[in-house]
Structure 1
């Protein structure tokens, strides 16, 4: 039996106010909490860590990530700093000169922030690449720039939905070139990228991630490698592929090893790429109402099949017309298999940026979780952000209504959608507390719970102690040096140690 005492901590339990200053663990579970003085009285035979006022929080759960794509950026092209087409082309040219002939994988360009506000043409990209295959995803990963050399490896992209002869590719054309780019990554490179991302997550106080995989995102081999990798960070894998019967749901779950048939099963796309499905046209693209990748009957069939099989289902949905399709699908599933069966399956929706009060009440009644990304609002919300340019100020004000969803009884689970936004749990908590529409903000307790307890509930956990720092809970916590958003501080605390089920995933003092 291994008994460990942390003494002198400021314990932040999401289900209660400040109180304990010490915590004891035995063999991977929390056995006791209390005062520092009480802890010293019971210190005999224990491994004691005096943490001198450090903050102790539950380990964070990132409820939406793309592990391999994020890890590839450790050695890929980070284009988030580009401020013009010339910046992007210079970065591609430098990489092509350093590694001629190899696939150039990059991410993060955002043309709406550029001057001039246009992406490079394919001819310009080809000249910079010098014949190398190039895949450069937009920041939202719903469109990408691809060189001619990469298109030669993805001939099905030409003429597919979302095809452009000279500009970014979206929809099916994008999926074809992304598969071709991923196929050029060796298994060793893939596993190295996965390990790099998970190790970085642990350094940021994250012990559980929800991988949103699927045939248009990564592939079965990618998910299998990830689920087999043991870094100590727990991976909850989702596979985004529709089914029509309960038998198909069970078979697909067994074939993929996934936790559920949810995650990025696309109902629509993104606002940045103008592929999110809208009721009214984009303000900056008259006549365009985005893309609809699944019809309401297919959504309903998937939800009914998964509900009948007791399998968690879910979808990627951003636009208000996309939300309408999902709500129609939920109504179909409730009629087909009963509201109780739908509730029991604990379905989830990713992003859910444009939802109204009546829809929120229905989602709460049916036990649906909202897996949301407050960093989206911080990056693109407000009256002068990208969302306002795409939608106009009136529609932006109602976006990402975290407070309304919470009041409606919808479980909130926070995540990053990495690589779309970085893994930054305290930044996410701050963004939820400082929403650009104040009425949609949530308080510190709700925000912290959404990034800890909410993540466990989003994965279907019924354990009331999951994500908490109370006796009987798993010893999953992060230790922090410095003030953070819960103290009103502008900075981000430094992670000192991350532990999951008693296993140390990261220890700054040990340099690992």
Structure 2
């Protein structure tokens, strides 16, 4: 923040309260004035926008910063389309590493392969020259590991989800993940975290919600990230997902005791807890639930005792039903109004029906959702259809229905599960595979900006808008497809072109400003 005033003029401002505004004065970290450029007051400095679009900066409501930094600087496997390609990528990457290093990679997705069979532990070890290998699947709920990593974690053989092939799920995955990530020194972690937060700023994201916890990161990882918040990069609001861990979450500096507190797993790993068996799984296979309704209730009561917002990761409808039963149990003790006032969250909320959506309304639950999930895996022929069948797949990620009945939506990426790509996420919500779940650009944009602030505990009424007195947190964009009603054109005029093949270019970030301080700029300031 700086006390010097800066006038940004000659732009298109997303300011519904004053559509004629083409200039904005920033002083003391806040917006001091908005209006036509011809009426602008004097300023210490003037920035000519040259017709660029100015909007509130994005908030990404679900990220994993260290893993994102690894994906940006390490072995990215999102483009491999076979076991052979994966092995070749591991071999090429491992050649550059010392013999004692661990090969860390992310993003392989066997549902996109013609033959969805990954290499086994022995094959990975040979490709990596005998090194330890940890490769997280796109969902981050399973991983491929080498024999050397299995040997480094002998306790894993007794854990649920272990498979001698080296494709590990559930508790076995958590065990090897802790060993693999524990090999990354703190100094390297900080570099990875700073890279992730700087990258967020470069795509117009000024704030992120980090979802940490004992099975997804570590206390040291979590606190080191919080220490970087807003230091020339995007700011961080941390959630610590540990059962009955509200006091610990508060002591670690978290804003909430939730995030990735797992009620179930993921659809990609067939560990999301669903009420009907998986279409492509073993007979009767319905995934895995980690929490009972009683555990959810007790966690919410613990949050109430310590004055903390709570939350859960829940993807499958059976897991979400258990979570809502826990909400009902907490309401029986505390009263529904007190439960509602806490603004608890559920992350993902992918498989929902009307009754479950009604539960979100009843208990005031915030839905932290990822529109890119539908873009990447939805529709009649995507991974969801393979796992659930086409009809259930089209009903997944019902963000339009939830928005329509007043559920607070907060959009994010779950990066590195999907990339930090906020306009891509807005477009995904607008172009949902199920037309009944599509949102307007304005509604989806609000979910990815103001929605992220509304999802935090406490009141943030001035955040996420361009208005006098509001924090000067905004982004400047080139919008090659044009601007309509203060927002960029994101979709082709012909709906037949919607989806991954839509040729409409997305906006490009020119600058991101956080409370008056520039945290990213490219050729503008």
* TM-score of the pair, normalised by structure 1: 0.95
Query: Which residue is 2:495 aligned to?
Result: none
Q: What are the equivalent positions in structure 2 for 1:104-183 lying under 5 Å apart?
A: 104-183=103-182
Structure 2 unaligned segments of length 5 or more: list them.
482-486, 492-503
Whole-Å Cα distance in 1 between the matches of residues 290 and 464 of structure 2?
A: 35
Q: Which sits farther off after the overlay, 476-485 or 160-169? A: 476-485
Q: Secondary structure at the match of 1:208?
A: strand
Q: Is 1:54 the counterpart of 2:52 in the alignment? A: yes
Distance 1:379 1:18, change over 3 A: farther
Residue number among 238, 261, 270 corresponding to 1:274 in the alignment: 270
Deviation at 1:232, TM superposition (A): 3.6
Query: Which residue is 2:69 aligned to?
Result: 71
Q: Secondary structure at the match of 1:63?
A: strand
Contact 1:112 1:118 in 2 (8 A): no
Query: Which residue is 1:92 aligned to?
Result: 90
Q: Is 1:450 the counterpart of 2:444 in the alignment? A: no
Whole-Å Cα distance in 2 between the matches of residues 147 and 183 of structure 1?
A: 16
Query: Which residue is 2:236 aligned to?
Result: 235
Q: Secondary structure at the match of 1:313?
A: strand
Contact 1:195 1:231 in 2 (8 A): no
Q: Secondary structure at the match of 2:72?
A: coil
Q: Secondary structure at the match of 2:84?
A: helix
Contact 2:147 2:166 in 1 (8 A): no
Residue number among 299, 314, 319 corresponding to 1:317 in the alignment: 314
Q: Deviations over 1:95-139 (max 9, x none)?
A: 222214211000011111113211111121121122101000000
Q: Is 1:352 the counterpart of 2:344 in the alignment? A: no
Q: Is 1:372 the counterpart of 2:373 in the alignment? A: no
Deviation at 1:461, TM superposition (A): 4.2
Whole-Å Cα distance in 2 between the matches of residues 303 and 499 of structure 1?
A: 36
Contact 1:137 1:144 in 2 (8 A): yes
Q: Is 1:258 the counterpart of 2:260 in the alignment? A: no
Deviation at 1:339, TM superposition (A): 1.0
Query: Which residue is 1:501 aligned to?
Result: 515
Query: Which residue is 2:500 aligned to?
Result: none
Distance 1:96 1:405, change over 3 A: same
Q: What are the equivalent positions in structure 2 for 1:280-291 lying under 5 Å apart?
A: 280-285=276-281, 286-291=283-288
Deviation at 1:75, TM superposition (A): 2.6
Query: Which residue is 2:497 aligned to?
Result: none
Contact 1:232 1:503 in 2 (8 A): no
Deviation at 1:294, TM superposition (A): 0.9
Q: Which sits farther off after the overlay, 215-224 or 405-414? A: 405-414
Whole-Å Cα distance in 1 between the matches of residues 57 and 288 of structure 2?
A: 37
Q: Secondary structure at the match of 2:95?
A: helix
Structure 1 unaligned segments of length 5 or more: list them.
none
Deviation at 1:16, TM superposition (A): 5.0
Whole-Å Cα distance in 2 between the matches of residues 74 and 432 of structure 1?
A: 25
Query: Which residue is 1:209 aligned to?
Result: 208
Q: Deviations over 1:164-201 (max 9, x none)?
A: 01141011100010000111001111000001111111
Whole-Å Cα distance in 2 between the matches of residues 298 and 254 of structure 1?
A: 20
Number of equivalent positions: 502
Q: Secondary structure at the match of 2:463?
A: coil
Query: Which residue is 2:499 aligned to?
Result: none
Contact 1:304 1:332 in 2 (8 A): no
Query: Which residue is 2:183 aligned to?
Result: 184
Q: Which sits farther off after the overlay, 175-184 or 462-471? A: 462-471
